[in-house]
Amino acid sequence: MILDLFKLDGKVALVTGAGRGLGQAMAVALAEAGADVAGLDVISLEETAAQVKALERRFLPVSANLLEAHAADMTKVVEQVVGGLGSLDILVNNAGIIRRAPVLEFSEKDWDDVMQINLKAVFLLSQAAGRVMVERGKGKIINIASMLSFQGGIRVPSYTASKSGVAGITRLMANELAARGLNVNAIAPGYMSTENTAPLRADAERATTILDRIPAGRWGESADLMGTVVFLASAASDYMNGAIVPVDGGWLTR
Protein backbone atom coordinates (compact mmCIF):
# COMPACT_ATOMS: atom_id res chain seq x y z
CA MET A 1 0.00 0.00 0.00
CA ILE A 2 1.27 3.46 -0.87
CA LEU A 3 0.66 4.81 2.64
CA ASP A 4 3.08 2.22 4.02
CA LEU A 5 5.91 4.07 2.28
CA PHE A 6 5.33 7.05 4.58
CA LYS A 7 5.67 5.05 7.78
CA LEU A 8 8.73 5.69 9.92
CA ASP A 9 8.36 2.79 12.34
CA GLY A 10 11.70 1.84 13.85
CA LYS A 11 13.46 5.00 12.64
CA VAL A 12 15.30 7.55 14.77
CA ALA A 13 15.17 11.24 13.91
CA LEU A 14 17.24 14.14 15.23
CA VAL A 15 15.57 17.55 14.94
CA THR A 16 17.46 20.72 15.82
CA GLY A 17 15.58 23.70 17.20
CA ALA A 18 12.91 21.28 18.40
CA GLY A 19 11.81 23.26 21.44
CA ARG A 20 9.15 25.31 19.68
CA GLY A 21 7.74 26.49 16.37
CA LEU A 22 8.63 24.72 13.14
CA GLY A 23 11.06 22.34 14.81
CA GLN A 24 8.57 21.21 17.40
CA ALA A 25 5.90 20.62 14.75
CA MET A 26 8.27 18.58 12.60
CA ALA A 27 9.47 16.53 15.57
CA VAL A 28 5.87 15.68 16.45
CA ALA A 29 5.06 14.87 12.81
CA LEU A 30 7.94 12.40 12.62
CA ALA A 31 6.77 10.80 15.87
CA GLU A 32 3.22 10.56 14.53
CA ALA A 33 4.65 8.69 11.53
CA GLY A 34 6.35 6.23 13.89
CA ALA A 35 9.85 7.58 14.55
CA ASP A 36 11.59 7.98 17.87
CA VAL A 37 12.93 11.52 18.22
CA ALA A 38 15.97 13.26 19.60
CA GLY A 39 15.41 16.98 20.01
CA LEU A 40 18.27 19.48 20.17
CA ASP A 41 17.81 22.98 21.54
CA VAL A 42 19.13 25.50 24.04
CA ILE A 43 15.62 26.12 25.36
CA SER A 44 13.35 23.73 27.24
CA LEU A 45 12.34 20.59 25.35
CA GLU A 46 9.76 19.50 27.92
CA GLU A 47 6.73 20.45 25.83
CA THR A 48 8.05 18.68 22.74
CA ALA A 49 9.01 15.65 24.80
CA ALA A 50 5.51 15.43 26.25
CA GLN A 51 3.91 15.53 22.81
CA VAL A 52 6.23 12.86 21.44
CA LYS A 53 5.81 10.59 24.45
CA ALA A 54 2.02 10.97 24.24
CA LEU A 55 2.35 9.24 20.87
CA GLU A 56 4.15 6.36 22.63
CA ARG A 57 7.44 7.20 20.95
CA ARG A 58 10.77 7.67 22.70
CA PHE A 59 12.24 11.15 23.10
CA LEU A 60 15.85 12.05 23.85
CA PRO A 61 16.68 15.64 24.82
CA VAL A 62 20.02 16.88 23.51
CA SER A 63 21.50 20.12 24.79
CA ALA A 64 24.01 21.84 22.51
CA ASN A 65 24.76 25.49 21.79
CA LEU A 66 25.12 25.68 18.02
CA LEU A 67 26.46 29.22 18.31
CA GLU A 68 29.63 27.79 19.81
CA ALA A 69 29.65 24.38 18.15
CA HIS A 70 32.66 22.91 16.39
CA ALA A 71 33.06 19.66 14.47
CA ALA A 72 33.91 17.66 17.59
CA ASP A 73 30.74 18.91 19.30
CA MET A 74 28.59 17.75 16.39
CA THR A 75 30.24 14.34 16.46
CA LYS A 76 29.38 14.09 20.17
CA VAL A 77 25.74 15.01 19.43
CA VAL A 78 25.48 12.20 16.88
CA GLU A 79 27.16 9.77 19.29
CA GLN A 80 24.69 10.77 22.01
CA VAL A 81 21.72 10.11 19.74
CA VAL A 82 23.03 6.76 18.54
CA GLY A 83 23.95 5.78 22.08
CA GLY A 84 20.60 6.88 23.51
CA LEU A 85 18.20 5.69 20.83
CA GLY A 86 20.24 3.07 19.01
CA SER A 87 20.41 4.66 15.56
CA LEU A 88 20.25 7.84 13.52
CA ASP A 89 18.22 7.54 10.35
CA ILE A 90 16.87 11.07 9.85
CA LEU A 91 18.42 14.47 10.50
CA VAL A 92 16.37 17.67 10.29
CA ASN A 93 18.56 20.77 10.41
CA ASN A 94 15.91 23.24 11.52
CA ALA A 95 17.64 25.49 14.07
CA GLY A 96 18.24 28.99 12.76
CA ILE A 97 18.37 32.66 13.69
CA ILE A 98 17.87 35.94 11.87
CA ARG A 99 19.25 39.43 12.46
CA ARG A 100 17.85 42.53 10.74
CA ALA A 101 19.56 45.82 9.81
CA PRO A 102 20.22 47.83 6.63
CA VAL A 103 23.07 46.36 4.61
CA LEU A 104 25.37 49.37 5.12
CA GLU A 105 24.88 49.20 8.90
CA PHE A 106 24.95 45.42 9.38
CA SER A 107 27.42 44.37 12.08
CA GLU A 108 30.16 41.79 11.83
CA LYS A 109 28.78 39.99 14.90
CA ASP A 110 25.33 39.67 13.34
CA TRP A 111 26.98 38.29 10.23
CA ASP A 112 29.09 35.75 12.15
CA ASP A 113 26.35 34.57 14.53
CA VAL A 114 23.86 33.86 11.77
CA MET A 115 26.38 32.15 9.52
CA GLN A 116 27.58 30.00 12.42
CA ILE A 117 24.14 28.63 13.33
CA ASN A 118 22.41 28.67 9.96
CA LEU A 119 25.21 27.34 7.78
CA LYS A 120 28.37 26.15 9.55
CA ALA A 121 26.52 24.11 12.20
CA VAL A 122 24.22 22.68 9.54
CA PHE A 123 27.19 21.49 7.51
CA LEU A 124 29.10 20.09 10.47
CA LEU A 125 26.11 18.22 11.91
CA SER A 126 25.20 16.87 8.47
CA GLN A 127 28.80 15.74 8.04
CA ALA A 128 28.80 13.94 11.40
CA ALA A 129 25.41 12.33 10.77
CA GLY A 130 26.35 11.50 7.20
CA ARG A 131 29.32 9.43 8.35
CA VAL A 132 27.03 7.25 10.47
CA MET A 133 24.43 6.98 7.72
CA VAL A 134 26.95 6.03 5.04
CA GLU A 135 28.17 3.15 7.21
CA ARG A 136 24.62 1.81 7.17
CA GLY A 137 24.01 2.59 3.51
CA LYS A 138 20.88 4.63 4.16
CA GLY A 139 19.77 7.93 5.67
CA LYS A 140 17.76 11.09 5.22
CA ILE A 141 19.12 14.60 5.75
CA ILE A 142 16.55 17.38 5.56
CA ASN A 143 17.74 20.96 5.70
CA ILE A 144 15.54 23.99 6.24
CA ALA A 145 16.20 26.53 3.53
CA SER A 146 14.09 29.65 2.86
CA MET A 147 12.48 31.81 0.23
CA LEU A 148 15.74 33.72 0.47
CA SER A 149 17.53 30.68 -0.88
CA PHE A 150 15.96 31.88 -4.16
CA GLN A 151 15.64 35.63 -3.57
CA GLY A 152 17.69 38.46 -2.11
CA GLY A 153 15.34 39.92 0.45
CA ILE A 154 16.08 43.14 2.32
CA ARG A 155 17.78 43.99 5.61
CA VAL A 156 18.88 40.39 6.31
CA PRO A 157 22.24 39.96 4.53
CA SER A 158 23.62 37.14 6.68
CA TYR A 159 20.30 35.29 6.66
CA THR A 160 20.12 35.51 2.86
CA ALA A 161 23.73 34.37 2.53
CA SER A 162 23.26 31.50 4.98
CA LYS A 163 20.06 30.20 3.43
CA SER A 164 21.52 30.47 -0.06
CA GLY A 165 24.40 28.43 1.32
CA VAL A 166 22.02 25.85 2.78
CA ALA A 167 20.55 25.30 -0.68
CA GLY A 168 24.04 24.97 -2.09
CA ILE A 169 25.35 22.41 0.40
CA THR A 170 22.09 20.47 0.09
CA ARG A 171 22.78 20.02 -3.61
CA LEU A 172 26.48 19.31 -3.05
CA MET A 173 25.85 16.65 -0.41
CA ALA A 174 23.19 15.06 -2.61
CA ASN A 175 25.70 14.87 -5.46
CA GLU A 176 28.28 13.15 -3.29
CA LEU A 177 26.09 10.93 -1.11
CA ALA A 178 23.14 9.80 -3.25
CA ALA A 179 25.11 6.87 -4.62
CA ARG A 180 25.93 5.85 -1.05
CA GLY A 181 22.27 5.51 -0.03
CA LEU A 182 21.57 8.96 1.42
CA ASN A 183 18.86 11.39 0.41
CA VAL A 184 19.74 15.03 1.08
CA ASN A 185 16.96 17.53 0.41
CA ALA A 186 15.65 20.79 1.85
CA ILE A 187 12.35 22.45 2.68
CA ALA A 188 12.05 26.15 1.89
CA PRO A 189 9.29 27.59 4.10
CA GLY A 190 7.57 30.78 3.05
CA TYR A 191 6.51 33.49 5.47
CA MET A 192 5.58 31.49 8.56
CA SER A 193 3.92 32.68 11.74
CA THR A 194 6.91 32.10 14.04
CA GLU A 195 9.03 34.03 16.50
CA ASN A 196 11.48 34.93 13.71
CA THR A 197 8.76 36.77 11.78
CA ALA A 198 7.14 38.46 14.79
CA PRO A 199 8.71 41.87 13.96
CA LEU A 200 7.36 41.67 10.41
CA ARG A 201 3.87 40.73 11.54
CA ALA A 202 3.93 43.57 14.09
CA ASP A 203 4.69 46.06 11.30
CA ALA A 204 1.24 46.65 9.81
CA GLU A 205 2.50 48.06 6.52
CA ARG A 206 5.11 45.36 5.97
CA ALA A 207 2.74 42.58 7.04
CA THR A 208 0.13 43.78 4.56
CA THR A 209 2.68 43.93 1.76
CA ILE A 210 3.76 40.37 2.46
CA LEU A 211 0.24 39.00 2.80
CA ASP A 212 -0.89 40.64 -0.43
CA ARG A 213 1.76 38.69 -2.33
CA ILE A 214 0.91 35.24 -0.94
CA PRO A 215 -1.60 33.54 -3.27
CA ALA A 216 -2.90 31.38 -0.42
CA GLY A 217 -3.87 34.58 1.39
CA ARG A 218 -2.39 33.70 4.78
CA TRP A 219 0.86 33.29 6.68
CA GLY A 220 2.08 29.73 7.00
CA GLU A 221 1.71 27.77 10.22
CA SER A 222 4.07 25.23 11.73
CA ALA A 223 1.65 22.44 10.87
CA ASP A 224 2.06 23.26 7.17
CA LEU A 225 5.51 21.62 7.22
CA MET A 226 4.45 18.39 8.88
CA GLY A 227 3.46 16.48 5.76
CA THR A 228 6.50 17.61 3.80
CA VAL A 229 9.00 16.58 6.45
CA VAL A 230 7.42 13.14 6.83
CA PHE A 231 7.52 12.68 3.04
CA LEU A 232 11.20 13.64 2.81
CA ALA A 233 12.05 11.42 5.79
CA SER A 234 10.24 8.41 4.39
CA ALA A 235 10.78 5.80 1.70
CA ALA A 236 8.24 7.69 -0.42
CA SER A 237 11.01 10.16 -1.33
CA ASP A 238 13.79 7.66 -2.00
CA TYR A 239 14.37 9.02 -5.53
CA MET A 240 14.53 12.66 -4.45
CA ASN A 241 18.02 14.09 -4.23
CA GLY A 242 19.11 17.72 -3.87
CA ALA A 243 15.59 19.15 -4.09
CA ILE A 244 14.70 22.47 -2.46
CA VAL A 245 10.96 22.11 -1.83
CA PRO A 246 9.02 25.38 -1.36
CA VAL A 247 6.19 25.33 1.18
CA ASP A 248 5.22 28.95 0.71
CA GLY A 249 1.54 29.37 -0.11
CA GLY A 250 2.60 30.23 -3.67
CA TRP A 251 4.97 33.11 -2.79
CA LEU A 252 7.56 32.16 -5.40
CA THR A 253 4.98 32.03 -8.19
CA ARG A 254 4.25 35.77 -7.91
* Domain 2-253 top-level CATH class: alpha beta
For residues 118 and 229, give the distance between their C-alpha atoms in angstroms, rounded to a whole number: 18
pLDDT for residue 198: 86
Determine contact, residues 22/144, Cβ cutoff 8 Å: yes
Query: Is 191 one of the annotated active-site residues of the chain?
Result: no
For residues 203 and 192, give the distance between their C-alpha atoms in angstroms, rounded to a whole number: 15
pLDDT digits (tens, 9 = 90+) for 139-162: 999 999 999 999 999 999 999 999
pLDDT digits (tens, 9 = 90+) for 159-210: 999 999 999 999 999 999 999 999 999 999 999 998 888 888 998 998 999 9
Domain boundaries, the chain: 2-253
pLDDT for residue 194: 86
pLDDT digits (tens, 9 = 90+) for 100-138: 999 999 999 999 999 999 999 999 999 999 999 999 999
Q: Which of 59, 159, 191, 251 is catalytic?
A: 159
pLDDT for residue 37: 99
| Average model confidence (pLDDT) across the chain | 97
For residues 16 and 18, give the distance between their C-alpha atoms in angstroms, rounded to a whole number: 5
